[in-house]
Amino acid sequence: MVTFPNAKINLGLRVVEKREDGYHNLDTVFYPLPLQDAMECIPAETDSFTSTGIPIPGSPTSNLCIKAIELLRKDFPSIPPLSVHLHKKIPMGAGLGGGSSDGAFMLKMLNDTFQLGLSQENLIQYALRLGSDCPFFIINSPVAASGRGEKMRPIECSLSHHTLLLVHPGIHIGTSEAFARIRPQQPLHSCSQIVSQPLTTWRDQLINDFEQSVFPSFPELAEIKASLYALGAGYASMTGTGSVIFAIFEKRPNWEGYFPPHYTVHCIAQ
């Protein structure tokens, strides 16, 4: 069994209110990107997890791939022990949802391979138990999202014929750290309303609230965003709680040599 979990970006991200359960209600548009990890899963004598590519910190038992197996096995004990190998290419702690994607794709792969008969809605509910971003990757097409991110409505949104740059300076931002300075508020217009407008209007209207929270502690990120606009971007923003800054260009920019060599830059032609 082999699958290729992909990344996402947030087109706008507003924190609407804090909930009684401690989570926050959000307003965002999730958009999938063809930046992918590679995951192989085969039957084995015991569960195991190995990885290559970008080093993955922490215990293998805390990885969402293994958590996804354990979660489904509670309800489907016939799932055998599995050996999982993950080649990691999507940066972690970057706002691209790589770990969430790995977990969600594992749920989908197990459902298909072992014919568990779970519907998309069933899978979304399992994915939500893994993490707030996980349900998106069950649908994996542009959606307007609210609640914790699990309330999703498909929308028409295409960045085809555009070029995206993803700039990762190697900074890891914890989710709790990003939420620390957030002041929830109801936006005048939803992110989905704004992305339905021409790209030329996004710069002044499409906001990621976490930039105000994160940029004061990491001014380097604000500098990257300004550099991308100087390079000719039609729109630039941090994705998720950071630290990747992405930019959308009408034409492929001449970015080679533009950023420090320790930065990771992905150029994606849609």
Distance CA 118, CA 108 (A): 9
* Alpha-carbon torsion angle 208, 209, 212, 218, nearest 10: -60
Strand partners, 152: 145
Q: What angle do CA 266, 268, 270 make, to 5 degrees?
A: 165
- Across the beta sheet with 48-53, the strand order is 2-3, 38-43, 82-88, 48-53
Where does residue 72 rank: exposed (0-12), middle (13-18), buried (19+ CB within 10 A)? Answer: buried
Is 251 among the residues known to form the active site?
no
Report which secondary-structure segment, H or E, holds 260. Answer: none
DSSP string for residues in 188-218: SS-HHHHHTS-GGGHHHH--BTHHHHHTTT-
Give me the helices (H) in the chain, please. Answer: 64-75, 98-113, 120-130, 134-139, 175-179, 191-195, 202-205, 210-214, 219-230
* Alpha-carbon torsion angle 105, 107, 110, 112, nearest 10: -70
Is 8 among the residues known to form the active site?
yes
Q: Which of 37, 133, 209, 225 is catalytic?
A: 133
Q: Which of 8, 89, 108, 225 is catalytic?
A: 8
The residues carrying an active-site annotation are: 8, 133
